[in-house]
Amino acid sequence: MAAGDRGKDPYLSFRFLVEIDGLIVGGFSEISGLQVEIDTEEYQEGGVNDHVHHLIKAAKYPRLVLKRGITDSDVLWKWQKQIVDGAITKETRKTINIVLLDTEKNERWGWRCVDAYPVKWTGPDLNATGNNVAIESLELVHAGIRSEKGT
């Protein structure tokens, strides 16, 4: 194989977009929690001594954590405020789309988290002697992750 013929390189983790109900919110510096775990229950069958059966129970999804530098946009703050005020409705549950881009900014992979709503907002650590960007964090619960491969 020639040195220039390495096949496709993996996509880089810093090229991504975030859409909340079709609106590109943008500017996120970090996303974590794209994960699914299947709970199982162990079952020891009588007479079977070489292994334990693992029966599938349910899928678990950790909180999706979005981090970004604070801007003049208060969309995320207003959304979490609706939840704090007790407005957990069909309208306050949103679809979060996370889109991974290639080097030419084409959509390559996407993850959709459905029926999401915020359960924790964290403001920036403020320090008068530092020069860091003021970062806000929003943690969301959701009803599952769907994945789509771009074209």
For domain 16-42+52-149, the question of CATH label 3.60.21.10 is answered with no
Residue entry with tokens 């915020």: 118
* Composition of the chain by helix, strand, coil, percent to 5: 5, 45, 50
Residue entry with tokens 């005020």: 85
Domain extent listing, the chain: 16-42+52-149
- pLDDT, one tens digit per residue, over 85-115 is 998 889 899 999 999 888 888 888 899 999 9
Is the pLDDT score of 151 beyond 70?
no
Could you tell me whether strands 135-141 and 107-122 are parallel, antiparallel, or unpaired per DSSP bridges?
antiparallel
Is the pLDDT score of 45 beyond 80?
yes
Tell me how crowded residue 126 is: count the other CB atoms within 10 A of its CB: 8
The whole model's pTM is what? 0.79
- pLDDT cut 90: percent of the chain above it: 50
Is the pLDDT score of 11 beyond 70?
yes
